[in-house]
Structure 1
Amino acid sequence: MVEEHDRVVLTENLPEQDLQAGDVGRVVHIYGDGAAYEVEFFHLDGRRVAVETVEVSAVRPVASTDITHARTRE
Protein backbone atom coordinates (compact mmCIF):
# COMPACT_ATOMS: atom_id res chain seq x y z
CA MET A 1 0.00 0.00 0.00
CA VAL A 2 1.30 3.43 -0.95
CA GLU A 3 0.91 6.28 1.53
CA GLU A 4 1.52 10.03 1.37
CA HIS A 5 5.24 10.90 1.27
CA ASP A 6 6.19 7.44 -0.07
CA ARG A 7 8.49 7.26 -3.05
CA VAL A 8 7.04 5.59 -6.14
CA VAL A 9 8.37 4.53 -9.53
CA LEU A 10 6.57 5.34 -12.78
CA THR A 11 5.60 2.20 -14.68
CA GLU A 12 4.68 4.01 -17.89
CA ASN A 13 5.93 7.00 -19.87
CA LEU A 14 4.23 10.39 -19.54
CA PRO A 15 5.59 11.96 -22.75
CA GLU A 16 3.68 15.24 -22.38
CA GLN A 17 5.62 15.89 -19.16
CA ASP A 18 8.89 14.30 -20.41
CA LEU A 19 8.66 11.69 -17.65
CA GLN A 20 9.72 8.11 -18.32
CA ALA A 21 8.98 4.72 -16.82
CA GLY A 22 11.51 4.26 -14.04
CA ASP A 23 11.47 7.91 -12.90
CA VAL A 24 11.02 8.22 -9.15
CA GLY A 25 8.66 10.66 -7.45
CA ARG A 26 7.10 11.27 -4.06
CA VAL A 27 3.36 10.97 -3.36
CA VAL A 28 2.08 14.30 -2.06
CA HIS A 29 -1.64 13.48 -2.10
CA ILE A 30 -3.85 10.41 -2.34
CA TYR A 31 -7.24 11.05 -3.87
CA GLY A 32 -10.19 9.99 -1.73
CA ASP A 33 -10.95 6.62 -3.25
CA GLY A 34 -7.27 5.70 -3.71
CA ALA A 35 -7.60 5.49 -7.51
CA ALA A 36 -5.03 8.20 -8.16
CA TYR A 37 -2.02 9.93 -6.62
CA GLU A 38 -0.55 13.39 -6.90
CA VAL A 39 3.17 12.73 -7.42
CA GLU A 40 6.00 15.27 -7.32
CA PHE A 41 9.13 14.64 -9.40
CA PHE A 42 12.49 16.31 -8.79
CA HIS A 43 15.91 16.67 -10.35
CA LEU A 44 18.62 15.12 -8.16
CA ASP A 45 19.70 18.63 -7.07
CA GLY A 46 16.23 19.25 -5.61
CA ARG A 47 14.64 21.38 -8.35
CA ARG A 48 11.05 20.42 -9.08
CA VAL A 49 10.39 18.80 -12.47
CA ALA A 50 6.64 18.30 -12.30
CA VAL A 51 3.65 17.55 -10.13
CA GLU A 52 1.35 15.10 -11.86
CA THR A 53 -1.85 13.26 -11.07
CA VAL A 54 -1.38 9.62 -12.02
CA GLU A 55 -3.59 6.56 -11.75
CA VAL A 56 -2.53 3.87 -9.31
CA SER A 57 -1.68 1.60 -12.26
CA ALA A 58 0.94 4.11 -13.50
CA VAL A 59 3.21 3.76 -10.46
CA ARG A 60 4.55 1.13 -8.08
CA PRO A 61 6.16 1.37 -4.67
CA VAL A 62 9.95 1.61 -4.51
CA ALA A 63 11.36 -1.88 -3.89
CA SER A 64 14.33 -2.80 -1.71
CA THR A 65 16.05 -4.17 -4.84
CA ASP A 66 15.73 -0.90 -6.83
CA ILE A 67 18.84 1.15 -7.53
CA THR A 68 19.16 4.85 -8.35
CA HIS A 69 19.76 5.67 -12.01
CA ALA A 70 20.21 9.13 -13.48
CA ARG A 71 19.16 10.53 -16.85
CA THR A 72 19.55 14.04 -18.17
CA ARG A 73 16.44 16.16 -18.49
CA GLU A 74 16.50 19.84 -19.25
Structure 2
Amino acid sequence: MIREHELVVLKRDHEEAGLEAGDVGTVVLVYPKGGYLVEFVDHEGNTMALLDLEEGEVLPLQGPALLRAKALRSRNLEVQE
Protein backbone atom coordinates (compact mmCIF):
# COMPACT_ATOMS: atom_id res chain seq x y z
CA MET A 1 0.00 0.00 0.00
CA ILE A 2 1.35 3.40 -0.98
CA ARG A 3 1.07 6.10 1.68
CA GLU A 4 1.33 9.87 1.77
CA HIS A 5 4.88 11.25 1.49
CA GLU A 6 6.20 8.09 -0.19
CA LEU A 7 8.15 8.22 -3.43
CA VAL A 8 6.51 6.64 -6.47
CA VAL A 9 7.59 5.93 -10.04
CA LEU A 10 5.45 6.73 -13.09
CA LYS A 11 4.57 3.70 -15.21
CA ARG A 12 3.72 5.69 -18.37
CA ASP A 13 4.52 9.01 -19.99
CA HIS A 14 2.47 12.11 -19.23
CA GLU A 15 3.57 14.29 -22.13
CA GLU A 16 1.20 17.14 -21.23
CA ALA A 17 3.15 17.55 -17.98
CA GLY A 18 6.58 16.86 -19.49
CA LEU A 19 6.90 13.61 -17.53
CA GLU A 20 8.16 10.23 -18.71
CA ALA A 21 7.79 6.69 -17.42
CA GLY A 22 10.39 6.25 -14.69
CA ASP A 23 10.12 9.79 -13.33
CA VAL A 24 9.84 9.94 -9.53
CA GLY A 25 7.25 11.91 -7.57
CA THR A 26 5.97 12.21 -4.02
CA VAL A 27 2.47 11.21 -2.96
CA VAL A 28 0.84 14.31 -1.48
CA LEU A 29 -2.60 12.81 -0.89
CA VAL A 30 -4.12 9.33 -0.96
CA TYR A 31 -7.75 9.52 -2.06
CA PRO A 32 -10.21 7.51 0.07
CA LYS A 33 -11.77 5.86 -3.00
CA GLY A 34 -8.39 5.08 -4.61
CA GLY A 35 -5.76 6.99 -6.49
CA TYR A 36 -3.21 9.60 -5.55
CA LEU A 37 -2.27 13.23 -5.87
CA VAL A 38 1.43 13.15 -6.81
CA GLU A 39 3.86 16.08 -6.94
CA PHE A 40 6.87 16.11 -9.26
CA VAL A 41 9.60 18.63 -8.45
CA ASP A 42 12.86 19.80 -10.00
CA HIS A 43 16.22 19.65 -8.23
CA GLU A 44 15.49 22.94 -6.43
CA GLY A 45 12.13 21.79 -5.07
CA ASN A 46 10.01 23.76 -7.54
CA THR A 47 6.79 21.98 -8.44
CA MET A 48 6.88 20.90 -12.08
CA ALA A 49 3.60 18.98 -12.07
CA LEU A 50 0.84 17.98 -9.67
CA LEU A 51 -1.17 15.06 -11.05
CA ASP A 52 -4.18 13.01 -10.01
CA LEU A 53 -3.11 9.44 -10.77
CA GLU A 54 -4.84 6.10 -10.56
CA GLU A 55 -3.31 3.26 -8.56
CA GLY A 56 -2.16 1.46 -11.71
CA GLU A 57 -0.22 4.48 -12.99
CA VAL A 58 2.49 4.42 -10.31
CA LEU A 59 4.70 1.96 -8.47
CA PRO A 60 6.29 2.45 -5.06
CA LEU A 61 10.00 3.22 -5.26
CA GLN A 62 11.65 0.12 -3.84
CA GLY A 63 15.09 -1.30 -3.23
CA PRO A 64 18.20 0.28 -4.60
CA ALA A 65 17.18 2.71 -7.32
CA LEU A 66 19.15 5.07 -9.48
CA LEU A 67 17.57 8.49 -9.87
CA ARG A 68 18.63 10.37 -12.99
CA ALA A 69 18.74 13.97 -14.14
CA LYS A 70 17.14 15.02 -17.41
CA ALA A 71 16.77 18.30 -19.21
CA LEU A 72 13.34 19.85 -18.72
CA ARG A 73 11.30 21.41 -21.48
CA SER A 74 11.61 25.16 -21.35
CA ARG A 75 8.51 26.86 -20.01
CA ASN A 76 7.24 30.15 -21.28
CA LEU A 77 6.72 32.01 -18.04
CA GLU A 78 5.96 35.71 -17.90
CA VAL A 79 7.99 37.75 -15.50
CA GLN A 80 5.81 40.02 -13.41
CA GLU A 81 7.34 43.22 -12.08
**TM-score interval, smaller chain:** over 0.9
Q: CA RMSD in A?
A: 0.9
1 or 2, which has the higher strand percentage? 1
CA-CA distance at 1:44 after TM superposition: 1.2
Q: Provide the C-alpha distance between the structure 1 equivalents of 2:67 and 2:37, rounded to a whole number of angstroms.
A: 22
Aligned positions, number: 73
Identical-residue share of aligned pairs (%) = 37
Aligned-residue offset at 1:63: 1.2
- Residue 65 of structure 1 and its aligned partner are, at CA, apart by 2.4
**Superposed displacement of residue 68, structure 1:** 1.0
TM-score (normalised: structure 2): 0.85
Query: Rg larger in 1 or in 2?
Result: 2
1:44 aligns with 2:43: yes
Residue 33 of structure 1 aligns to a residue whose secondary structure is coil
Moved over 3 A (4+): none
**Quick one: which amino acid aligns to residue 63 of structure 1?**
Q
* TM-score for both structures, normalised by structure 1: 0.92
Q: Deviations over 1:15-63 (max 9, x none)?
A: 11111101100000111122x1000000012111011001111100001
* Whole-Å separation in 2 of the counterparts to 1:60 and 1:43: 20
Structure 1: gaps of 5 or more residues: none
